[in-house]
Amino acid sequence: MGLFIAVPMMNAFDNWQAPVIVWAILPLVTCLLWLPLISLRSHVKPVTGAKVTLWRNQTAWAVTLYMGLQSFFFYSVVTWLPKILIENGLDPLQAGTATALINIVSIPFNLFIPIIAARMKSQQSLVVVVFLVSFSGLMGLWLAPAKAPMLWASLMGMGAGGSLSLALSFFYFANTGWCPSHCFIGNGSEHRVFIGVYRPYGNGLGA
């Protein structure tokens, strides 16, 4: 939504600082809403169990790499797409609309891809389909950016939404002990170690 209304706000106030100020104020308002929760205390039981490691587990690292690459794909696209489209003849409003379309189109895929993944014995084919959709959007943007920018943005939005929800689904599978295609995690301790590897390194790669 921010990408979609940034240019109209800039034109309405006749300066680019106005939308920036709005986006700076909104997080402060959100923090005020969260302040009452500071007093809440959670009681977490200490974790006990045998020492485990997943540092040599190929599947755990594969999922971690997948998490990082999908983050890298999304943030690279939303960062550079407006500039690419403007340099190829689109005005800022069209470029912002195309970029906002990535987020809008991704919503249904964020919702339904995990449901589909949970019903499959193996998610490998789903990963391939999501990759092909994302790759189609990137190739279209590379070869003919000004021909069908909304189509390329929609394809990349489908891929971004599908890849993110798949990555988070793998996180859920590890956290609950539900094995998607084959049990690369075997007990509660290994679930926690997997999450410890998966989250920081995957997100770190995306950053």
CA–CA gap between residue 108 and residue 160 (Å, rounded): 11
> What does DSSP assign to residue 36?
G
Structural domains of the chain, count? 2
Q: In terms of domains, do 25 and 94 share one?
A: no
CA–CA gap between residue 196 and residue 203 (Å, rounded): 11
In-domain check, residue 15: yes
Which CATH number fits the domain that encloses residue 177?
1.20.1250.20
Overall pTM surpassing 0.75 (yes/no):
no
Q: In terms of domains, do 145 and 179 share one?
A: yes
Q: For 2-56, what is each residue's pLDDT tens digit? A: 666 777 777 777 877 877 888 788 888 888 888 887 777 665 565 555 555 666 6
**How many CB atoms are closer than 10 A to CB 59?**
16
Domain boundaries, position 23: 1-39
In-domain check, residue 49: no
Work out the angle at residue 114's Cα, subtended by the Cα atoms of residues 112 and 109, and round it to the nearest 5 degrees.
35
| Between 155 and 172, the higher pLDDT residue | 155
Mean pLDDT taken over the chain: 79
CB of 130 closer than 8 Å to CB of 76? no
CA–CA gap between residue 114 and residue 10 (Å, rounded): 38
pLDDT number for residue 101: 92
pLDDT number for residue 180: 45
pLDDT at 172 over 60: yes
Q: By C-alpha distance, which of 55, 50, 62, 147 is closest to 98? A: 147
Q: By C-alpha distance, which of 184, 162, 160 is closest to 173? A: 184
pLDDT number for residue 119: 85
Q: For 104-131, what is each residue's pLDDT tens digit? A: 999 999 999 989 988 887 788 998 999 9
Q: In terms of domains, do 29 and 109 share one?
A: no
